């Protein structure tokens, strides 16, 4: 995206530069009048100096003026200067003076030579300059393109570095946890001390996973890849890692059986759902039911609700629960305050959203909405 | 006695895996980087390989690729990387299963058992997975004593999953075997047939489990 934008800028510059290559009329008129004025001044000076210098000097002065003009001005004014100076030279400086007539064959040849030299010099120099300018423009465009490419590469490199960093942080954090877990498994949890370590390790693992996930969500590294799926698979994927937490809570699932095939990123949705389910298990008394209901609305939106039978949310927490590190007063220790923020990030990455309200009959109710394509199986 | 090769650069991890596997009667050899892992595999001819992906030097996926050039030893990937894309890539290069670290020991051992049930030449035209029996000769399947009425596509699907019972099969792998020559775009059709197959399997001890973004696993 960055690269595209930069290229757009380069294109704009290209447009303006090609515009400036075409002479602006007012500008050229200025050059014409300046050219003629300069010729007039030079002719006057040479006229004054004529007794001391002779006519060849004035010819060289004119040629110099044309060469200098050629380095700055457009071809039209320069060539005009060439023609006018040849005529002026003939008229004023070549005998017989103040006529265009030339007597001596040598003068005639000189005049012809002056004419040719003045015109070709003007022509060559202006052409040289035009080429130079074209080359310069080309060079500048190339530089701009290069810069744009460079910026794009930098952005890609930054993203790659970010991912590498995330990968290596993830590796460094998860490896010791894996080692502890394997060691505890070997030790067995018959010893109450080992059991405590085991519980704490699971907690640590969840914290690490949540931190890594919120980093991914926030750096927009989460790219949904929707595919056809059965909604029951989503629920299964969301609940199976939570078996332990869900053990004391009967699950009631409604509506999912009759849903058509849905096109969505089932991994992201199941993760968003899992976090909400986990959150529910932390806030409701053991034995209370958790209900999941799902439906596809006529506007092709998946409407998924998770309702618990806990105390519900304290007033004005409806929005704040989705903020990072937000914790409801009285929430049990051990949560990271990230789960719901991740859920919202994931839902938004999929162009959906999540909200929560207190159910009129008690308990909190989370509402997921997600645009989906459907197909009857 | 099975021989297991552990390729992992973390010494502690290797030590723990060795203790875990030896307590289950495995004979264990180790390698701490990829090249050495390949040499050990050639030298010791292990029955199963536990391969980490984040190896220094030759990466895990590359090791797997080179190993697959001459060996079909069952390989279990054991990695902290939990992105679906990596899992699918590893499975399609030829890994037999994928366990993310941190893992539970019981689960790891169960997966190791599953991938070691030989895939080699079959001597009978029948595959048995729990109560499910798939007869390849007559294209019939039954659960317990009850015959399943399957369409040819459903049978092909069930055959692929049963051949890999307990192991994950990626969506691409299924599509390639069930609809040879078709693009992997057939995911929609695949869901439909899986759905029908699940209904026919019912609730009789055989289930098809989906792993989001990866594929399916038949559990029996």
pLDDT at residue A2 in the model? 41
CA distance A330 to A253: 28
pLDDT at residue B119 in the model? 58
**Which has the closest alpha carbon to A287: A312, A250, A252, A253?**
A250
CA distance A175 to B53: 12
Q: Buried (b) or exposed (e) across B127-164, using 16+ Cβ within 10 A?
A: bebbebbbbbeeeebebeeeebebeebbbbbbbbbbbb
Query: Which residues of chain A fall below pLDDT 50?
Result: 1-21, 23
Residue A260: closest C-alpha in chain B:
B192
pLDDT at residue B184 in the model? 54
Give CA separation, A42 vs A47, A59, A123, A294, in Å. 8, 10, 21, 93
Half-sphere exposure of A102 (CA within 13 A, CB side): 18
CA distance B148 to B145: 10
Residue B12: alpha-carbon gap to chain centroid: 26
B47 with B29: CB under 8 angstroms? no
Q: Buried (b) or exposed (e) across B196-205, using 16+ Cβ within 10 A?
A: bbbeebeeee
Q: Which residues of chain B does A185 touch, with a Cβ-Cβ cutoff of 8 Å?
A: 20, 104-106
DSSP secondary structure of A48-73: HHHHHH-HHHHHHHHHHHHHHHHHHS
Residue B211: closest C-alpha in chain A:
A237
Q: Which residues of chain B does A261 touch, with a Cβ-Cβ cutoff of 8 Å?
A: 188, 191-192, 195
pLDDT at residue A10 in the model? 43
Within chain B, what is the greatest distance between any pair of CA atoms? 54
Q: Which residues of chain B does A375 touch, with a Cβ-Cβ cutoff of 8 Å?
A: 188
Give CA separation, A171 vs A168, A177, A345, B10, B150, in Å. 5, 10, 23, 11, 45
CA distance A69 to A67: 5
CA distance B157 to B197: 8
Q: Which residues of chain B does A180 touch, with a Cβ-Cβ cutoff of 8 Å?
A: 102
> How do beta strands B140-143 and B132-135 pair?
antiparallel
Q: How many residues does chain A have?
A: 377
pLDDT in tens, B82-105: 888 899 999 999 999 999 989 989
Put simply, the answer to whether A170 touches B81 (Cβ < 8 Å) is: yes
Residue from A167, A179, A186 to probe the interface with B (highest B Cβ count within 10 Å): A179
Residue B210: closest C-alpha in chain A:
A233
Q: Has residue B127 got a pLDDT over 90?
A: no
Q: What confidence category does residue B23 fall into, taking pLDDT thresholds of 50, 70 and 90?
A: very high
Bond before A175 cis per omega within 30 degrees: no
Residue B193: closest C-alpha in chain A:
A377
> Hey, is the C-beta of B107 within 8 angstroms of any chain A C-beta?
no
* Chain mean pLDDT for chain B: 88
Give the residue extent of every domain in chain A. 2-152, 227-375
pLDDT at residue B44 in the model? 92
CA distance A81 to A69: 9
Q: Has residue B131 got a pLDDT over 50?
A: yes
CA distance A239 to A271: 9
pLDDT in tens, A38-81: 888 988 888 888 888 877 888 888 888 888 888 888 888 888 88
pLDDT in tens, B99-108: 998 998 999 9
CA distance A55 to A220: 79
Domains annotated on chain B, with CATH: 3-116 (3.40.50.2300), 126-219 (1.10.10.10)
CA distance A361 to A293: 16
pLDDT at residue A176 in the model? 93
Residue, of A326 and B115, whose pLDDT is higher:
B115
Token pair for B164: 């890999």
**Which has the closest alpha carbon to B130: B107, B103, B162, B106?**
B162
CA distance B14 to B10: 6
Q: What CATH number has the domain spanning A227-375?
A: 3.30.565.10
Half-sphere exposure of A103 (CA within 13 A, CB side): 7
Q: What confidence category does residue B30 fall into, taking pLDDT thresholds of 50, 70 and 90?
A: very high
pLDDT at residue A148 in the model? 93
pLDDT at residue A24 in the model? 53
Q: What is the ipTM of this complex?
A: 0.84
What percent of chain B has a predicted confidence (pLDDT) above 90?
45
Token pair for A310: 């806990």
Beginning with the edge strand found earlier in the chain, give each strand of the sheet holding B215-219 in spatial order.
B168-170, B215-219, B207-211
Token pair for B47: 């029955």
Q: What average pLDDT does range B172-201 have in this prediction?
A: 82
pLDDT in tens, A131-162: 888 999 999 999 999 999 999 999 888 888 88
Residue A296: alpha-carbon gap to chain centroid: 35
Identify the burial level of A359 via C-beta atoms within 10 angstroms of its C-beta, where 0-12 means exposed, 13-18 middle and 19 or more buried. Answer: middle
């Amino acid at each position: 995206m960055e690269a595209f934008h930069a290229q757009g800028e380069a294109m704009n510059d290209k447009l303006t530069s090609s515009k400036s290559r075409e002479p602006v009329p007012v500008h050229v008129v200025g050059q014409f009048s300046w050219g003629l004025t300069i010729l007039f001044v030079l002719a006057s000076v040479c006229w004054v100096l004529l007794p001391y210098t002779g006519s060849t000097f004035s010819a060289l002065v004119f040629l110099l003026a044309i060469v200098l003009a050629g380095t700055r001005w457009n071809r039209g004014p320069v060539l005009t200067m060439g023609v006018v100076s040849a005529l002026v030279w003939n008229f004023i400086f070549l005998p017989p003076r103040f006529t265009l007539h030339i007597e001596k064959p040598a003068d005639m040849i000189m005049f012809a030579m002056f004419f040719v030299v003045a015109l070709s010099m003007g022509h060559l120099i202006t052409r040289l300059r035009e080429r130079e300018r074209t080359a310069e423009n080309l060079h500048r465009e190339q530089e701009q393109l290069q810069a744009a490419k460079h910026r794009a590469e930098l952005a890609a490199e930054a993203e790659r570095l970010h991912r590498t960093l995330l990968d290596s942080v993830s590796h460094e954090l998860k490896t010791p946890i894996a080692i502890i877990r394997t060691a505890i498994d070997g030790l067995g949890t018959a010893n109450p001390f080992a059991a405590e370590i085991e519980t704490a390790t699971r907690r640590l693992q969840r914290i690490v996973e949540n931190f890594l996930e919120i980093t991914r969500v926030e750096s927009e590294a989460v790219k949904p890849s929707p595919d056809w799926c059965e909604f029951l698979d989503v629920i299964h994927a969301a609940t199976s890692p939570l078996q332990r937490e869900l053990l004391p809570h009967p699950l009631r699932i409604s509506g999912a059986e009759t849903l058509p095939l849905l096109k969505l990123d089932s991994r992201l949705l199941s993760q968003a759902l899992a976090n909400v389910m986990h959150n529910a298990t932390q806030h409701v008394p053991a034995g209370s039911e958790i209900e999941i209901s799902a439906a596809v609305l006529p506007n092709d939106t998946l409407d998924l609700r998770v309702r618990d039978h806990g105390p519900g949310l304290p007033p004005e927490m409806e929005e704040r629960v989705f903020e990072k590190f937000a914790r409801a007063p009285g929430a049990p220790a051990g949560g990271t305050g990230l789960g719901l923020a991740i859920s919202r990030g994931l839902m938004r990455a999929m162009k959906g959203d999540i909200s929560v309200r207190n159910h009129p009959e008690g308990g909190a109710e989370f509402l997921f909405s997600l645009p989906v394509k459907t197909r009857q199986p | 006695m099975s021989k297991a090769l552990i390729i992992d650069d973390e010494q502690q991890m290797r030590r723990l895996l060795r203790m875990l596997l030896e307590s289950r009667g495995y004979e264990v050899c180790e390698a701490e980087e990829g090249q050495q892992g390949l040499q050990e595999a050639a030298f010791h001819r292990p029955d199963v390989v536990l391969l980490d992906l984040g190896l220094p030097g030759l990466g895990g996926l590359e090791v797997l690729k080179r190993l697959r050039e001459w060996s079909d030893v069952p390989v279990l990937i054991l990695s902290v990387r939990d992105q679906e894309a990596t899992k699918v890539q590893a499975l399609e290069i030829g890994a037999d299963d994928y366990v993310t670290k941190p893992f539970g020991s019981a689960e790891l051992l169960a997966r190791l058992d599953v991938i070691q049930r030989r895939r080699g030449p079959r001597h009978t035209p029948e595959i048995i997975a729990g109560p499910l029996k798939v007869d390849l000769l007559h294209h019939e399947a039954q659960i317990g004593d009850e015959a399943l009425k399957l369409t040819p596509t459903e049978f092909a699907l069930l055959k692929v999953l049963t051949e890999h019972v307990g192991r994950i099969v990626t969506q691409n792998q299924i599509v390639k075997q069930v609809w040879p020559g078709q693009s992997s775009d057939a995911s929609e059709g695949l869901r439909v047939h899986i759905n029908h197959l699940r209904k026919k399997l019912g609730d009789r001890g055989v289930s098809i489990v989906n792993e989001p973004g990866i594929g399916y696993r038949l559990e029996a």
